[in-house]
Amino acid sequence: MKVIYILWLRELRRYSRSRAQLIASLGQPLMYLLALGFGLGPVFQKAGQGSYLQFVAPGVIAMTILFSSVFSGIGLLWDRQFGFLKETLVAPVPRIQVMLGRTLGAATVAVLQGCLVTIVCFIAGFRFTHLALSPLALVFMLLIACLFAALGTAIGSMLQNMQGFQLIMNFLVMPIFFLSGALFPLNGLPKVLGFITSLDPLAYGVDGLRSALLARAHFGMAIDVAVLVGVTIVLLIIGSRLFARIQA
């Protein structure tokens, strides 16, 4: 447990020392929030769907957590390149603890960034529909972060260089985001597209955030939690096995 805590704390310190990372984490969400939230707002309102800013804000928060957590795998490749990972792996501790520490650290950083974006959304005009349910948003943010931090660690364990990681992320992360319903409602989609979105784990995270912040659900909060927890457990098992195969 001590190893998990040390690696978790190291990820937090790495984030706190990088102001550039903090600024960069707000850039893309601001672009989506302002350009889409206000740009498509009149069209969304004319379609009878209400405020687009209210609708898209949970999706932007989920997007921030997705990118921050899944790209934690780059940190794994970076540590491997500069030798820190070797020093960690030769320590007389189970590798599952090393993997869990890195995953929890990356997930915590992602949740912190998600909270920052939530504050920005609030400043832009986003408002919670039911304050009593809003604490559940932190639960869904943590579930999303753990899920995709585990995915990033699993992928980072299989690769040897950053170029390969970026290639896989471009073909994996962007489809996960755009098919999650973060930018458009999932109601009334064609059957094929609706089936594909139902296979996207982020869709359940976005739906859970909308349930908690806006009391507006597509799948249902219980289903959202069950899917996120189930997929996270599977990815942690797969990731731990892949991480255990890394040569020190």
Work out the burial of residue 48: count CB atoms within 10 Å of its CB; fewer than 13 is exposed, 13-18 middle, 19 or more buried: exposed
- pLDDT at 91 > cutoff 70: no
Domain count, the chain: 1
Tens of pLDDT, residues 164-173 = 767 777 788 8
Q: Write down the mean pLDDT value for the chain.
A: 79
Residue 4 — very low, low, confident or very high, per pLDDT cuts 50/70/90? low
Closest CA to 107 of 4, 210, 243: 4
Indicate the pLDDT class of residue 225, thresholds 50, 70 and 90. very high
DSSP-assigned letter for residue 149: H
Domain ranges, residue 7: 2-244
pTM here is 0.86
